[in-house]
C-alpha cells in the first residue's frame, strides 16, 4: 500500500553540466518505474537538473535546507528558495551533516518544520554508529532521533514524510546491514511512530534503507516488508546502476 521511493543522494558530486547529462541518461532507463524516483543534487545543479528532468517521472530533491525563512544567514538556502527552484524533496539530517557540520537532533527538527511548512517532503535520516550498534543502543537511538525530528508536526503531516534509516557504519563503506537487520530496525522506527501518532499514520510513512544499497543487494532489501525504498549514494552517480536499483522489481 506504500509506494516505494528510491532517491539518489549525489552528495558533493557532479557539476551542473554533468548532473544534467546524468539525468538525461537516466530518463529513458527509469521511465517505467513503479516507484517514485528522486535525485537529490547539489544546490548549484538544481537549475540545470530541473531543465533536464523536463516532464519526465524524475523528481528533484535537495540535500539540506535552512530553518529560517530569510535573512542574514550567509551561505544558507531557505525552503521557499528550494520550492521556487522546482524542488519537491529535501534530505535532512544526513549523518555526514551530523558528523561534519554540527547538525543536531534539534536543528534537524527545525529544518523538518521549515521544509514541511513550505510544502517540501523531508527525507529525514536517522541511524546508529558502529559502536552504538555493538552497545545494543540502536533501537532507543533511532526511536529518539525519529521522534525528535517529527516534533511539532501534525499526524497528517507526519504521514507524508519519508524517513531514511542509514546505519552510519554502512554508508560508503561497502558494508550493508543484512536484509533482516535493516527490516528489524525500520520496524522499530515504525513502531515508535505508531506509539505517538497511531498505527494508521505509521502505516503510511515511507521508510527507506540507505547504506551501500546497490543493484546487487536491492532485491533482498526491498523484499522485506518494512522497507519502502532506498537512499542511494555511490550507486546513484552512474545512470545504469541507479536505474537497476530503481527497477528492482523488473
Q: If 0-12 CB within 10 Å is exposed, 13-18 middle and 19+ buried, where does residue 86 land? A: middle
Q: Is 221 in the site for ligand PGA (CB under 6 A)?
A: no
250: exposed, middle or buried (Cβ count in 10 Å: 0-12, 13-18, 19+): exposed
Rank residues 177 and 201 by Cβ distance to ligand PGA and give the closer one.
177
What does the DSSP 8-state code read for residue 4?
A: P
Per CB under 6 A, the segment of 146-154, 193-201, 208-216, 238-246 that binds ligand PGA is: 208-216
Residue 210 engages ligand PGA in binding (rule: CB under 6 A): yes
- The region of 13-21, 52-60, 80-88, 210-218 touching ligand PGA under the rule CB under 6 A is 210-218
Using the rule CB under 6 A, which residue among 166, 218, 227, 243 binds ligand PGA?
Answer: 166
| Interface residue with ligand PGA, options 114, 193, 232, 246 (CB under 6 A) | 232
3-state secondary structure of 229: strand
CA 9 – CA 38 distance, rounded (Å): 9
How does 231-243 read in b/e, with b if 16+ C-beta sit within 10 Å?
A: bbbbbbbebebbb
If one asks whether residue 211 binds ligand PGA (CB under 6 A), the answer comes out as yes
64 binds ligand PGA per the rule CB under 6 A: no
Report if residue 175 touches ligand PGA, rule: CB under 6 A: no
Looking at beta carbons only, is 186 or 213 nearer to ligand PGA? Answer: 213
Q: Smallest distance from the beta carbon of 171 to ligand PGA, in angstroms?
A: 4
- Nearest one of 223, 132, 145 to 183, comparing CA atoms: 223
Is 234 a binding residue for ligand PGA by CB under 6 A? The answer is yes
Q: Which of 94, 96, 128, 226 is catalytic?
A: 94
Rounded Cα distance between 108 and 92, Å, is 6
For ligand PGA (CB under 6 A), the number of binding residues is 13
Q: Is 240 annotated as catalytic? A: no
- Give me the least distance between CB of 95 and ligand PGA, in Å please: 7
Exposure class string for 121-154: b at 16+ Cβ within 10 A, else e: bbbbbbbbbeebbeeeebbebbbebbbbbbeebe
Closest separation between CB of residue 196 and ligand PGA, Å? Answer: 25
Active site residue 94: yes
Among 164, 202, 187, residue whose Cα is nearest residue 9: 164
Active-site positions read 94, 166
Q: Which residues bind ligand PGA (CB under 6 A)?
A: 9, 166, 171-172, 210-213, 231-235
Amino acid at each position: 500500500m506504500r509506494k516505494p521511493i528510491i532517491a539518489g543522494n549525489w552528495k558533493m558530486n557532479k557539476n551542473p553540466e554533468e548532473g544534467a547529462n546524468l539525468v538525461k541518461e537516466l530518463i529513458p532507463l527509469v521511465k517505467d518505474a513503479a516507484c517514485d524516483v528522486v535525485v537529490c543534487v547539489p544546490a548549484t545543479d538544481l537549475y540545470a537538473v530541473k531543465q533536464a528532468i523536463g516532464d519526465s517521472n524524475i523528481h528533484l530533491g535537495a540535500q539540506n535546507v535552512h530553518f529560517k525563512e530569510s535573512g542574514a544567514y550567509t551561505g544558507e538556502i531557505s525552503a521557499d528558495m528550494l520550492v521556487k527552484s522546482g524542488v519537491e524533496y529535501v534530505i535532512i539530517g544526513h549523518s555526514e551533516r551530523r558528523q561534519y557540520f554540527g547538525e543536531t537532533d534539534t536543528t534537524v527538527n527545525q529544518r523538518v518544520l521549515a521544509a514541511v511548512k513550505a510544502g517540501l517532503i523531508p527525507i529525514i535520516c536517522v541511524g546508529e554508529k558502529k559502536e552504538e550498534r555493538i552497545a545494543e543502543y540502536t533501537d532507543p537511538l533511532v526511536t529518539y532521533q525519529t521522534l525528535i525530528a517529527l516534533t511539532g508536526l501534525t499526524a497528517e503531516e507526519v504521514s507524508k514524510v519519508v524517513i531514511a534509516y542509514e546505519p552510519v557504519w554502512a554508508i560508503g563503506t561497502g558494508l550493508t546491514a543484512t536484509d533482516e537487520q535493516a527490516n528489524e530496525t525500520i520496524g522499530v522506527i515504525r513502531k515508535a511512530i505508531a506509539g505517538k501518532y497511531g498505527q494508521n499514520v505509521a502505516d503510511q510513512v515511507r521508510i527507506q534503507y540507505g547504506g551501500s544499497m546497490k543493484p546487487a543487494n536491492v532485491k533482498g532489501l526491498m523484499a522485506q516488508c518494512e522497507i519502502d525504498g532506498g537512499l542511494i549514494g555511490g550507486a546513484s552517480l552512474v545512470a545504469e546502476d541507479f536505474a537497476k536499483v530503481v527497477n528492482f522489481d523488473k
